[in-house]
Amino acid sequence: MKKMKKNQKKQNGGDMVLLTGTSHPELAQEIAKKLGIPLGAVKLGRFPEGEIALQILDNIRGKDVFIVQPTCTPPNESLMELLILIDAARRASAKRITAVLPFFGYARQDRKDRPRVPITAKLVANLIVSAGANRVLTMDLHAGQIQGFFDIPVDHLYSINVLGAYFKKKRLKNLVVVSTDVGGIKMARGYAKLFGCDLAIVDKRRESDSKTEVMHIIGFVTGKNVIIIDDMISTGGSLVEAAKALKSNGAKDIYSCIVHPVLAGKAIERIQGSPIKELVVTNSIPLGKEKQIKQITQLSIASLLADAIYRIHYNESISTLFSSAGVEA
Ligand code: R5P
Q: Which mutation among 146, 203, 232, 281 tests ligand 1's pocket best, with the greatest number of atoms within 8 A of CB?
A: 232
| Catalytically annotated residues | 204
CB 268 within 8 A of CB 290: yes
The full set of domain ranges for the chain reads 6-158+302-322, 160-299
CB 131 within 8 A of CB 100: no
- Per-residue pLDDT band at 120 (split at 50, 70, 90): very high
Q: What kind and span of H or E run contains 127? A: helix 120-131
pTM comes to 0.93
Among residues 129, 258, 264, which one has the least CA distance to residue 187?
258
Distance 180 CA to ligand 1 centre (A): 8
- If one compares 181 and 22, the residue with the highest pLDDT of the two is 22
* CATH code of the region 160-299: 3.40.50.2020
- Asked whether the predicted pLDDT for residue 219 surpasses 80, the reply is yes
CB 107 within 8 A of CB 121: yes
Q: Which mutation among 209, 210, 211, 233 tests ligand 1's pocket best, with the greatest number of atoms within 8 A of CB?
A: 233
Q: Average pLDDT of 261-285?
A: 98
- Position 183 scores a pLDDT of 87
- CA nearest ligand 1 atom 9, residue: 233
Distance 35 CA to ligand 1 centre (A): 33
Distance 304 CA to ligand 1 centre (A): 24
Distance CA 260, CA 317 (A): 25
- If one compares 104 and 205, the residue with the highest pLDDT of the two is 104
From the CB of 233, is ligand 1 less than 6 Å away? yes
Distance 234 CA to ligand 1 centre (A): 6
- Asked whether the predicted pLDDT for residue 238 surpasses 90, the reply is yes
From the CB of 241, is ligand 1 less than 6 Å away? no
Distance 223 CA to ligand 1 centre (A): 26
- Position 328 scores a pLDDT of 45
From the CB of 236, is ligand 1 less than 6 Å away? yes
Domains 6-158+302-322 and 160-299 share a fold: yes
Q: Is the peptide bond before 74 cis (omega within 30 degrees of 0)?
A: yes
From the CB of 184, is ligand 1 less than 6 Å away? yes
- Position 2 scores a pLDDT of 57
- CA nearest ligand 1 atom 5, residue: 232
- Asked whether the predicted pLDDT for residue 113 surpasses 70, the reply is yes
Q: What are the φ/ψ torsions at residue 10 (nearest 5 degrees)?
A: -55, -40
Q: Average pLDDT of 92-120?
A: 97
From the CB of 237, is ligand 1 less than 6 Å away? yes
3-state DSSP helix/strand/coil % of the chain, to nearest 5: 35, 25, 40
Give the amino acid at 62. Answer: G
Distance CA 64, CA 93 (A): 10
- Asked whether the predicted pLDDT for residue 329 surpasses 80, the reply is no
Q: Average pLDDT of 7-17?
A: 65
- If one compares 325 and 48, the residue with the highest pLDDT of the two is 48
* CATH code of the region 6-158+302-322: 3.40.50.2020
CB 235 within 8 A of CB 265: yes
Count of residues making up the chain: 329
From the CB of 140, is ligand 1 less than 6 Å away? no
- Position 65 scores a pLDDT of 98
- Per-residue pLDDT band at 325 (split at 50, 70, 90): low
- Asked whether the predicted pLDDT for residue 1 surpasses 70, the reply is no
The mean pLDDT of the chain is 93
- Asked whether the predicted pLDDT for residue 10 surpasses 50, the reply is no
- Asked whether the predicted pLDDT for residue 323 surpasses 90, the reply is no
From the CB of 138, is ligand 1 less than 6 Å away? no
